[in-house]
Amino acid sequence: MALVKRHPIIAFFLLAYALSWLGWPMWALGLYPNSVFGFGPFLGALLVLAITNGKSGVGGLLRRMVRWRVGLGWYAVALLLPVGLALGATVLNVMLGARAPSSVELGSWPSLLVIFALVLLVPGLGGAWEEPGWRGYALPRLQTGRSALFASLILGVLIVGWHLPLMVVGQIH
């Protein structure tokens, strides 16, 4: 505990890697679909915050995760723009001579909406539990005494390293 309190950012990265990479043996045994547990950085941040700042530190991170900083219209743009781009690309492809989607392919689109909603509402399914750890916990602490650019470059290198198991097994191209 004292070591975590003296070196919280190092402890965070060690925990983020260790907790995440525990997924590798589970994946190798066919018990988990990915070679990393995507929630490792978030869980690492929660553990370090609990040790260093107690309930107030954990609560602060959780509150920042649900704080809306832009108007509702921008959230609509962020959620609807990918759908519009996909539809536009499909229409453009057909107009340029590609085969039109079959009724079977079109019939699967409603299930895509369900999957989209699940990934949005249950972020752990989409890997979004990485971000509160990386950007909610680590980045602000790396920016202490460093420029935002340098802190982001450090974090970028460490995030790339964290993804190595996914790259090795071909889950990221």
Task: Give the burial string for 117-142 (b: 16+ CB within 10 Å, else e).
Answer: eeeeeebeeeebbbbbbbebbbbebb
pLDDT of residue 166: 78
CB 61 within 8 A of CB 138: no
Rounded to two decimals, what is the model's pTM?
Answer: 0.71
pLDDT of residue 47: 96
Distances in Å between the Cα of 143 and the Cα atoms of 16, 17, 128, 135 are 19, 20, 22, 11
For residue 127, give the 3-state DSSP assignment.
coil
Q: Which residue has the tokens 């070679």?
A: 35
Single-letter amino acid code for the residue at 45: A
Q: One digit per residue, pLDDT tens: the chain, 173 residues?
A: 889 999 999 999 999 999 998 888 888 888 887 778 888 999 999 999 999 999 999 999 999 887 878 888 998 898 888 888 988 998 999 999 999 888 877 777 677 777 777 666 665 555 678 889 999 999 999 999 999 999 999 999 999 999 888 788 776 64
pLDDT of residue 95: 94
For residue 84 the two structure tokens come to 């519009």
Sequence ranges of the domains in the chain:
2-168
Distances in Å between the Cα of 156 and the Cα atoms of 68, 134, 161 are 25, 9, 9
